[in-house]
Amino acid sequence: MYILVVNCGSSSLKADVLDLQSKKTIIELDAERLPLQPIIHINNEEVVYDGKLELGEILVFCLDKIKSELGDKKIEGIGHRVVHGGDYYSQPVLIDEKVENAIEELCALAPLHNPANLLGIQKAKQVFADLPNVAVFDTAFHQTLPNRAKQYAIDKEIIKKYNIKRYGFHGTSHKYIAERAGTFLKQDIKHLRMISCHLGNGASVCAIEFGRSIETSMGMTPVEGLVMGTRSGDIDAGIISFLQTKENWTAQQAEDFLNNKSGLAGLSGLSNDMRDILQKASEGDENARTAIQVFTHRLTKYIGAYTALMGGLDVLIFTGGIGENSANIRNRVCQRLDFLGILLDEDKNKSTQLSNENDVSNISDENARVKTLAIKTDEQLAIAIETQKIVEEKNKVNCIPKIPIAISARHVHLTRETIDILYGKGYELTSYKPLSQPGQFAANETVTIVGPRNKYENVRILGPLRSKDQVEISKTDEFFLGIDAPVRESGNVAGTPGIKLIGKNGETTIKEGVIVAWRHIHMHPTDAELFGVKDQDIVSVDVDDNERPLTFKNVIIRVSDKFKLEMHIDTDEGNAAEIKSGEQGTLMTTTKLVSLNTKNV
Ligand code: ADP
């Protein structure tokens, strides 16, 4: 499978086509200094652009170039790096209008990134019409951060007003690195406590406890945390207001100071590039030495803190340009961490040369309790892999129909005998409107159901008549009426409570028949064959189109040639899940029905 990965920034574009089988990049496009002085390379050859100096136009030009370079090779999906997914996305998603709107809304939180990411999506859709586009969010992996790690200790009203919290970034890399470490060590990451140090131009560290990010050093913006190429990382917030007063800075100037004039570049006064700084430090430059010391001190501090948060550590990982290539920095960071079980084998550390073929190196002493690894990160490949997963899922789901979901309000099914009492002998129900199941209808006629505690008036009768009376209510109704109704499959009313019914012409108390309907799926035998299920099977149904993705477990399958595909839930379930009638679900798993009469399904 070929996947195009688009990483579109406000001044640069990286767009690669990857072959997922060989995990190799087959087309590589880099564009820099956008939009005013575009320098574009495709497969390392410069391409001349003489069009309008406007980001959107340049993107279309670049993507068209990739399209013609592809020849008859077909890409199957496009993965986009999107920096901010806010609280909406904890996973990569297939992009539709709703996702685009969310990315746009989140521009407020990532004004330097999300607008360009969104433009990349729009232009990719224009150039490669009909291909699935997937958004892979930098923030997604950190959605598992517990509240105590997410929150800044500031006024809760302000937090709410502006969604101020720690979102974390570099998530795609941290996740990829953690999984790669697990494969390398032949251990399930669900059993490991890991710290991943992504040390590039931007740098962040992440505590990954049993496969979930539980702390990370970047916060609401990528400024917080480690010392970076040009970003300060952690700083006393008081310094900013101090400088704004002293230097008469605008907010913009303060932001520029923190993002572009600080970090290694600010401290060294030389460069944002660690290679230059290491070189100068070895030649005796004091500022370069200070820059390195502050950089490594801060990281060592984080490693200690994160080990404390997880109550121990199993794997420490270095990645990113500095983490992958600098034995010197790795050594400095780990020097005094033997008390945590971190001990490097200096020969292995020094001789490590990572490459695509040799992307992981175990640099720990063989007696060290903690495995320390240097791993080559590959965000483009990570995005391509995530995109492939979503595209494959989509293709799978596309072959199997989605299941429409309907919400049943409380209603009754009645026998000939009961209708005779409530509406008069021989009375025929009249149709108010047909129901989705063939031949069934909601009648104009209603009844009052009277429980020990309360009553409901105008409860609709559903036709046609049945052989047993049945009153279907929700759990909430149960408490309102003061009746203890079991969860049952429709038609299975033996041993259920009775209730008083009042109609236009009379009243009666049925001996049994009040149930809370077991959520179920009606299907025709041809649907059952397609889904690979049988009557009475129990399945789970995922509702992923909903704002709050959720899974309904314990859904019973009912197969009949009179049925049309539809899942029925009651009003309580619909409300709790914020589902509206007309939404759709995906059938997930099947297990055998053990007992039909279970109450607590
Ligand atoms: P980005 O965050 O832009 O993707 P990279 O992951 O490419 O950045 O990392 C860039 C950083 O890695 C630079 O500071 C660079 O100096 C540093 N780096 C690359 N190679 C080495 C090396 N051999 N020794 C020390 N630092 C290195």
Give 271-296 pLDDT, tens digit per residue.
999 999 999 999 999 999 999 999 99
Give the start-end residues of each E strand in 410-503. Answer: 411-413, 431-434, 441-450, 455-463, 470-473, 487-488, 499-502
Ligand 1, atom 27: nearest CA belongs to which residue?
A: 322
Q: Is 322 helix (H, G, I), strand (E, B) or coil?
A: helix
Distance, CA of 142 to CA of 395 (rounded, Å)? 28
The pLDDT-based confidence of 575 (bands split at 50, 70, 90) is confident
Distances (CA, A) of 324 to 196, 224, 433, 451: 12, 22, 68, 71
- Report the pocket of ligand 1 as residue ranges, CB < 6 Å: 200-202, 229, 273-275, 278, 320-322, 325-326
pTM metric for this prediction: 0.70
What is the distance of C-alpha 156 from the center of its chain? 25
User: Which tokens belong to 479?
Assistant: 């408490």
Alpha-carbon Rg for the chain, nearest whole angstrom, is: 31
Nearest CA to ligand 1 atom 7: 321
Which band of pLDDT confidence, cut at 50, 70 and 90, is reported for residue 397?
Answer: low
Task: Report the mean per-residue pLDDT for the chain.
Answer: 92
Assess contact for 538 and 375: CB atoms under 8 A: no
Q: Closest ligand 1 atom, CA of 229?
A: 14
How remote is the CA of residue 201 from the centroid of ligand 1, in Å?
6
Q: How far is the CA of 326 from the centre of ligand 1 (A)?
A: 9
For ligand 1, the distance from its centroid to the CA atom of residue 320, given in whole angstroms, is 7
Task: Indicate if 138 belongs to the active site.
Answer: yes
From the CA of 321, how far away is ligand 1's center (Å)?
A: 3
- Rounded to the nearest angstrom, the distance between the alpha carbon of 200 and the centre of ligand 1 is 5
Pocket residue to mutate for ligand 1, from 11, 176, 325, most atoms within 8 A of Cβ: 325
Instruction: Say how many CA atoms lie within 13 Å of 385 toward its Cβ.
Output: 15
Cβ neighbour number for residue 141 with a 10 Å cutoff: 27
Q: Tell me: the pLDDT tens digits for 409-441?
A: 999 999 999 999 999 999 999 999 999 888 999
Residue 91 to residue 68: CA distance in whole angstroms: 32
Query: How much distance in Å is there from the Cα of 91 to the middle of ligand 1?
Result: 28
Please, which pLDDT band fits residue 93 given cuts at 50, 70 and 90? very high
Which comes out higher in pLDDT, residue 138 or 538?
138
Average pLDDT over residues 206-220: 96
Q: Whose CA is nearest to atom 13 of ligand 1?
A: 273
Query: What's the mean pLDDT in 337-348?
Result: 98
Give the span between the Cα atoms of 333 and 195, in whole angstroms: 13
Shortest-distance atom of ligand 1 to CA 203: 2
Element (H, E) at 198: strand 193-199
Q: How crowded is residue 22: how many other Cβ atoms within 10 Å of its Cβ?
A: 8
Interior CA angle at 137 toward 131 and 141, to 5°?
130
The closest-lying atom of ligand 1 relative to the alpha carbon of residue 272 is 14
Any idea what DSSP says for residue 248? T
Would you state the structure tokens that stand for residue 281, as one six-digit string?
A: 């430090």
The terminus-to-terminus CA distance of the chain in angstroms comes to 42
- Catalytic residue (choose from 138, 359, 542, 570): 138
Judged on CB neighbours under 10 Å (0-12, 13-18, 19+), 78 is buried
The stretch 37-46 carries a mean pLDDT of 96
CA distance 487 to 598: 8
**Which helix (H) or strand (E) is 81 found in, with range?**
strand 75-82
Q: How far is the CA of 198 from the centre of ligand 1 (A)?
A: 10
Which atom of ligand 1 has the smallest separation from the CA of 274? 16
Single-letter residue type at 143: Q
For ligand 1, mutation pick of 322, 331, 354, 375 (most atoms within 8 Å of CB): 322
Residue with tokens 């039909």: 596
Q: Per-residue pLDDT for 382 more than 90?
A: yes
Q: If you measure from the C-alpha of residue 327 to the centroid of ligand 1, how many angstroms do you get, rounded to a whole number?
A: 12
Closest-CA residue, ligand 1 atom 4, reads: 200
Q: What is the pLDDT of residue 274?
A: 97
Residue 137: φ, ψ to 5°? -95, 135
Using the predicted structure, report yes or no on whether residue 303 has a pLDDT greater than 80.
Answer: yes
* Predicted local confidence at residue 546, as pLDDT: 55
Single-letter amino acid code for the residue at 222: P
Ligand 1 pocket test: which of 30, 272, 274, 380 has the largest number of ligand atoms within 8 Å of its C-beta?
A: 274
What are the tens digits of pLDDT across the range 489-499? 888 898 899 99
Residue with the larger pLDDT of the pair 187 and 530: 187
CA atoms within 13 A on the CB side of 261: 6
> In whole angstroms, what is the distance from residue 527 CA to residue 539 CA?
14
pLDDT score at 398 = 65
- pLDDT of res. 547: 60
DSSP state at residue 191:
G
With beta carbons less than 8 A apart as the criterion, state whether 364 and 343 touch: yes
Using pLDDT thresholds of 50, 70 and 90, give the confidence band for residue 598.
very low
Peptide bond preceding 35: is omega within 30 degrees of 0, i.e. cis? yes
| The ligand 1 atom nearest the CA atom of 198 | 6
Which helix (H) or strand (E) segment holds residue 584: the answer is strand 584-591
Counting from 1 in the atom list of ligand 1, the atom nearest the Cα of 377 is 6
Q: Counting atoms of ligand 1 from 1, which one is nearest the CA of 201?
A: 2
Protein residue with least CA distance to atom 26, ligand 1: 322
What is the CA(324)–ligand 1 centre distance, in A?
A: 8
User: Is pLDDT of 453 > 60?
Assistant: yes
Set out the domains of the chain in order of their start, with CATH numbers.
Answer: 2-137 (3.30.420.40), 171-382 (3.30.420.40), 412-517 (no CATH), 519-598 (2.40.40)
